[in-house]
Chain A
Amino acid sequence: MSDSIIGAGPRRIDGRLKVSGAAPYAADHYPDNMAYGYGVFSTIASGRVTNIDLSEARRSPGVIDIFHHGHFPSLYHTPSSMMQGNKVEETRLPFEDDRVYYEGQFVALVVADSLENARAAAYKVKVSYDEEKAIANLDQGVKAHGTQKGKGNHSRGNPGASFESAAHSIDYTYATPVETHNPMEMHATVASWRGDRLHVYESSQGVLQEKGALAKIFGIAPNQIEVESPFIGSGFGSKLWMWPHAVTAAAASRETGRPVQVVVPRQQMFTTTGHRPETRQRLRLATDNQGRLVSVRHESINATSFTDQYVETCGSVTKSLYSCDNVLVSHETTRVNRGTPTSMRAPGAAPGLFALESAIDEMAIEAGIDPVEFRLNNYADRDESQDLPFSSNHIKDATRQAAEKFGWSKRTPEPGSMREGNEFVGYGMAACNWEAMRFPCDARVSLRADGTAYVTCATQDIGTGTYTIVAQAVSDVTGLPLERITVKLGDTSYPEGPLSGGSWTTATTLPAVAEASRKAIEQLKSHATSGQGAFSDVAAEDLSFENGQLSHNGRAMDYTEVLGAQRLASADGEAHTGGADTSKYSFRSFGAHFVEVRWDPGISNLRVSRVVSAIDVGRAINTLTARNQVEGAVVMGLGMAHFEATDYDHRNARPVNNNYAEYLVATHADQPEIDVILLDNPDYEFNEYGARGIGEIGITGMAAAVANAVYHATGKRIRELPISKDKLMEGIPEPQRA
């Protein structure tokens, strides 16, 4: 078994709990005497609260207390450092003052004895405002107050001069709208104080960061706080960092002396828990007359909030994907009246590769070269931005394999040249790319006398399958079957594990778990060979352990008997493993998407009909969950390409489609045939498993692959997402102006 469990495809060990409703999510916890908090949210996007009339709300049934800027404990700011483990994205505290920076900001919190009573009373709170003119979008922001310098900038060579003298060049601007994570499960906090200790259930991708941030904000020691997040109805990045609702819950609980639950309503999932920001990206590319890139400039601006600078590093991939001596990547931000943006699946790369990979397509066409050929000729063989070799890069293989499986050779290059019945068929492709990261991690494994293993680590399973692959790693080392392995995650009382983000959970967690398993076996052997042990006459290093059995020279004994004979509950191992050494290699994952779209001009209908994606992420620990990550990301990328946008009223910065019916994500009916090729090239420079991580890469490049296919089908180049039918239609009359 130990040979095959890594790289096999066992089903999720927590699957039954989830489908039977037995998995406890944050808001499924009901501590005794719990009260419910419901927010009152600002209905303006910019200005001041001038008055809060609570008279009617106070008389509403069941109300316990109502918090607002005039009635809230004085708290501290967190330094908001990821390295210190106390980062939040929106650094302003709720109710800190009377300012309103975005629509949907908490301006009060009603605490009552039931959710219904809290909500009813919240509707009766009357807030008066002094409204100021809101900055409603990126263009308005740039116009009103220009831009601020961002981070992650890069330059090499002389891109300006080489552009001017190049044989072929393009210069286009691409735009992406606000996208909202919209996980199924709302953000939710259940906070309770016992004396000076705070306990929190949160839907969190990072329990330790939340613990650290709460410690700073409430001015208490981290060891007075426990945060639990055993199950998460997904997050896509919106649950990496704690948001204001959690602070309101914890403070309200302390003030009222009762546990308090706060669930963020769907409407405010669009405002107060982050979003992918709006971007504008100018791409200037040039090639020599052989179609080799000689100049690449990727300059982006993203909208951020008035309270925090969040930089969407759109050019992060542009630095190293293609070989080019003259490169400029720059990021700037502008302030708008929206909540603070945050990471959303493949931050930077997802909008960045929409622009870059659309531009590469345009460049290839300009240079008269097939887009696949163009990429194969220009992909970088080493990371030129850091002057380091890649630890492992099979993008050319990925591109060729996907092209072959997709049938790219059947493509006739002329736009609109492929037709079936009412539909024009378009083929497009794009590269995908994501950084591979690995951080320090602790884990603990106990081999217990009852024959089971018990594993703990304060990382989280955000729906990706972490529970399962951790069990696989333990099974791989110990030989125990999965059903005898209990994995516990998402609790700050466990050994320190990573934030579930950046696609680094697998690469970070598994080495620690494996090491802890080996240490547990070592301890087991030392028990067995001790004075009272069953193998007291054997040296520990001569004892072998396989499939739960200790053996030496033909004498074998089940390890449970060894422990039982000594009345020992368990043999334990604790491990600490380090992060990746980034001084010798550049670690990245690669891949390519090939997409077929169909455009029916008679009814202006566009659909994505077929996707082939080849992904090079090193080794897949679990082929079932790995494939599932790529398929999910492809569908999300299709949504990004075709549907997703949070729309704001340009007059007052209010989001208008802030619900699950009108914010369009791809439905089942929109899903194309998806064929995922997992290249299996273990990257042992990165870790002992050769695994780099797979959660995000699948969304990168998808939007561009769709846009490129749309161009091929229709002859129209859409440089602003989403690619909705109105952007492809002809004969639209001039609208009446109000």
Chain B
Amino acid sequence: MREFDYARADSARQAVSSHGTNEQAAYLAGGTTLLDLVKIDIMRPEQVVDINRLDLNEIETLNDGRTRIGALVTNTALARDERITRDYAVLSEALLSGASTQLRNKATTAGNVMQRVRCPYFRDGVSPCNKREPGSGCAAIGGYNRSVHAVLGTSDKCIATHPSDMCVAMAAIGATVQVQGPEGEREIDFLDFHLLPGDTPWKEHALKENELITHVTLDAPIQGSRSGYLKLRDRESYQFALASSAVIVALEGNTIREARIALGGVGTKPWRVKEAEQALKGQPANEQSFQKAADIVMRDATPYEHNAFKIPLGKQAVIRNLTTQTA
């Protein structure tokens, strides 16, 4: 670990000003991504701003039916919250499918949104990697790209998946991210928060240099809907998704009134597929409809050397989850 300056903030404003516009500054929340990467010398912050004392630990139901989650609410607390398990089962399930109990106890909502990719070439410190060293290339293409590499949203500059499970559920639910900057607060639509790699994979999100996430606010639940998260992987626990789906469906009789679909493990960002949702609307809840939606999800997928199986697997994640939620 290299030396860095450490500041502990007592308010969001103070955090933002301690952070400043220094590109080498980082907020410290649970530390499960940041400290991990600092210890292996991949992230090298010069200034660390500890935000753990900020008053951002609440989960609140707003008057308009939305639910506002403080940036520091831990993954465990969020997953176990009664309002979440009742109204947003998909989110609770997604959180509980992630990492391990110990990690979830430390990991925070904002930290989870901001977690970095698990690509081994990003983490090895020497391979060409456009995320770590802009312009150096992408060793994953043509290399070993089975588990943590995407088939959707990739570019010839980067193919790493966004590893979060929580974000996949949030993408399906719909949400906004509240951020605090030096000029005050603003909101970013959750679906616009994470960026596709395109030609600039080192730009991962829509935050400006020193902006701090203060809250994530979930859209009001869809009345009469059921939801769930299905995570497919090699082993039963403690592994990032090879393919996962977050599904929310509301039926009228056996007809789909409304559906939300997002995928994890297959995309370079939490992968919401509105087109597939549209295709389901008004259709009978049966295998044929689900298959059609799944085909739409993977229509533009690009298979790489070792991860082509994620295309059928992603479809399966969608079909089985829709089947379960409409059974």
Contact = CB atoms under 8 A, between A and B. Distances in A.
Interface of A: 43, 61, 116, 119-120, 123, 267, 602-605, 607, 642-643, 647-651, 654, 656-659, 661-662, 664, 666-670, 724-726, 729-738
Given A734-B303, A738-B142, A664 B235 contact: yes
A99 to B, nearest CB: 19
Given A604-B312, A724-B234, A735-B306, A61 B3 contact: yes
B236 to A, nearest CB: 4
6 contacts: A604-B316, A656-B143, A658-B120, A670-B235, A735-B306, A738-B142
Given A123-B41, A661-B239, A733-B303, 14 more contacts: A43-B126, A603-B317, A659-B123, A664-B235, A667-B235, A669-B236, A724-B234, A725-B232, A725-B309, A732-B303, A732-B311, A735-B306, A735-B307, A738-B142
Contact of A123 (B2, B230, B238): B2
A651 B137 CA distance: 15
B283 interface: no
Contacts of A607: 236
A669 B232 contact: no
B79 interface: no
Contacts of B306: 735
Contacts of B41: 123
Contacts of A735: 303-308
A733 B237 CA distance: 27
Contact of B309 (A664, A667, A732): A732
Nearest to A647: B144
A725 B118 contact: no
Interface in B136-151: 139, 141-144, 146-148
B303 A603 contact: no
Contacts of A605: 232
A267 B234 CA distance: 21
B117 interface: no
Contact of B319 (A602, A649, A670): A602
A667 B237 contact: yes
B316 A733 contact: no
A668 B237 contact: yes
Contacts of A661: 118, 238-240
Contacts of A737: 305
B312 A736 contact: no
A369 B313 CA distance: 36
Interface of B: 1-3, 39-41, 118, 120-121, 123-127, 139, 141-144, 146-148, 230, 232, 234-240, 242, 302-309, 311-313, 316-317, 319-320
State the majority secondary structure of interface residues on B.
loop
A656 B120 contact: yes
A234 B317 CA distance: 38
A309 B147 CA distance: 32
Contacts of A123: 2, 41
Given A43-B126, A651-B142, A669-B237, A726 B2 contact: no
Nearest to A667: B237
A435 to B, nearest CB: 32
Closest 10 CB pairs of A and B: A738-B142, A669-B236, A726-B309, A669-B237, A656-B120, A43-B126, A667-B237, A735-B308, A735-B303, A123-B41
A256 B234 CA distance: 47
B67 to A, nearest CB: 29
B247 to A, nearest CB: 13
B244 to A, nearest CB: 11
Contact of A643 (B121, B235, B304): B235
A737 B306 CA distance: 10
A726 B307 CA distance: 9
Contact of B312 (A643, A662, A667, A730): A730
B309 A119 contact: no
B143 A725 contact: no
A603 B320 contact: yes
Contacts of A724: 234
Given A667-B235, A734-B303, A119 B118 contact: no
